[in-house]
Structure 1
Amino acid sequence: MSKPAPSAKPPLELAVERIAFAAGVAVLMTDPAGRVRVLDFEDYEPRMQRLLRRHYGEHGWTVREAAAPTAARRALEAYFAGDLTAIDGLETATAGTAFQRDIWKALRTIPAGQTASYRDLAQQVGRPAAVRATGAANGANPIGIIVPCHRVIGAGGDLTGYGGGLPRKRWLLEHEGALTG
């Protein structure tokens, strides 16, 4: 007697909202529990699609317009209006490797108005030699701003790559008071 084939996992349903702010339009996706799964930028949508495929598979998600503004949207609007702590309590959920999730968790400990280096993050997660892997995990972060990969700078204090572009990274850091114009 053979076992029945496992049933296919239904795709993750994501509600999408677009939020215009001074540095562009953010694309926010939340799951049915209200957890943030994606926050990227409209002009980087191909990158966002690649990250979705990496995290949930080729057909592992569906998208629908949000019926009403989510708590995450309201928190982001408050953040963009100047309440830099409004996003701190938002619940997120991601796939990714254990190391990536450790880095993303460490990113959330960097307060608004402060920055850290890739080396700082690698040391924080107990992998001081994994500076390059830390950079790669930072670059694979599907939840910009809330998981604040923009707060990571080079060891010498220089602005390094950012999935939303360096001008937007500069804007976010200036908005938070970590850089002055």
Structure 2
Amino acid sequence: MTSQTSATTTHTCTIGSPVGALTLRSNGTHLTQLHFTGDAPLDRGDLNDDPVLTAAVEQLDAYFAGERTEFDLPLDPGGTAFQRRVWAALREIPYAETETYGELARRIGSPTASRAVGAANGQNPIAIVVPCHRVVGANGKLVGFGGGVDRKVVLLEREAKVRLERDFG
């Protein structure tokens, strides 16, 4: 599934995962999107033609196998300057830990912007790799996740299990 525009090539593939189908997009040099696509048919698409997609799939496989806790991929999520600040801060939330929208807002230097942080979190185009699932409500409840709260629970529980096994197993 390669689409060519005037100066940009988009590579796409859809893979299976423990949280359903995931569609990944690359511009050939950076991962630009990773979305939950539920029951979408699996389609290796441009996987063999794009080293960014290949690396992303390998790292996702290792993440879901409990062998990787951080991603090392070139990313280009687009977005506004504020959104990019939020998304960069999301990548600093440690594996298997959570942070509230308010804590994230304070950490990026915008302590009164928890709602804007929530909106930016909801617009994150590179789920899992940019771990928006690690953000929780002020009371610690699992709220607001573009992939659905059920997927958020699965991701957080998998991370907690891997962390326990590493620390005590």
- Computed over aligned residues only, the root mean square deviation of the Cα atoms, in angstroms, reads 2.3
> Using the alignment, how far apart are the partners of 2:121 and 2:149 within structure 1?
15
Quote the residue 2:56 is aligned against: 72
Question: TM (normalized to structure 2)?
Answer: 0.82
Q: How does 1:129-148 map to 2 (within 5 A)?
A: 129-148=112-131
Q: How many correspondences in the alignment?
A: 152
2:155 matched to 1:172?
Answer: yes
Larger Rg: 1 or 2?
1
Question: TM (normalized to structure 1)?
Answer: 0.77
Q: How does 1:1-181 map to 2 (within 5 A)?
A: 10=6, 12-33=8-29, 35-43=30-38, 65-68=45-48, 70-85=54-69, 87-177=70-160
> Contact conserved, 2:12 with 2:47, CA < 8 A, in 1?
no
Quote the residue 1:49 is aligned against: none
> Contact conserved, 1:84 with 1:112, CA < 8 A, in 2?
no
Unaligned runs of 5+ in 2: 165-169
> Using the alignment, how far apart are the partners of 2:12 and 2:140 within structure 1?
35
Percent identity reads 44
> Contact conserved, 2:133 with 2:155, CA < 8 A, in 1?
yes
> Contact conserved, 1:84 with 1:176, CA < 8 A, in 2?
no
Cα 1:162–1:44 change in 2 (3 A) is farther
Q: CA deviation at 1:67?
A: 4.5
